[in-house]
Amino acid sequence: MIIDDTRFGSITIDGQLYSHDVYILPSGKTEKRNKKKSPRIHGHRSLGVEEIKYLLSYEPEILFIGKGQTGVLPIQPEAEVLLESLDIEIHMETTPNLIDKFNQIFSERKNVAAVFHTTC
């Protein structure tokens, strides 16, 4: 599984264009991000505790959080506390800046989970 590219509002994975945010599970399965349980912060749908717990249910060694094209995705304060308490490797940056690192680590067959925001 390879992330080919990302542009405002989309991400291309294995040649398939997704016009929404995505989760990538350790198996390589890609799912549409479920933002319904995450509150709005400053008009933006944040990354919330329930989403992080969902990704953690797959017991990843490494968690990637792509915060959007310019890094605007807000993190719910309770989610920040949860992330800080974790004993796993976390990479959190703008979505374009994470692609190469994600591809490298995923190709090493590491147990990786990710959420990639595709706008802002």
- The average pLDDT across 43-66 equals 96
Q: How many domains does the chain have?
A: 1
Band of pLDDT at residue 37, cut at 50, 70 and 90: confident
Band of pLDDT at residue 115, cut at 50, 70 and 90: very high
According to DSSP, residue 39 is labeled P
Band of pLDDT at residue 20, cut at 50, 70 and 90: very high
- Residue given tokens 């190469």 in the structure block: 100
**CATH number reported for the structural domain that contains residue 67 in this entry:** 3.40.1230.10
Structural contact between residues 40 and 73, judged by C-beta atoms closer than 8 angstroms: no
Please state the φ and ψ torsions of residue 67, each to the nearest 5 degrees: -90, 20
Which domain covers residue 56, as residue numbers?
3-117
- The average pLDDT across 67-76 equals 96
pLDDT of 79 > 90? The answer is yes
pTM of the model: 0.96
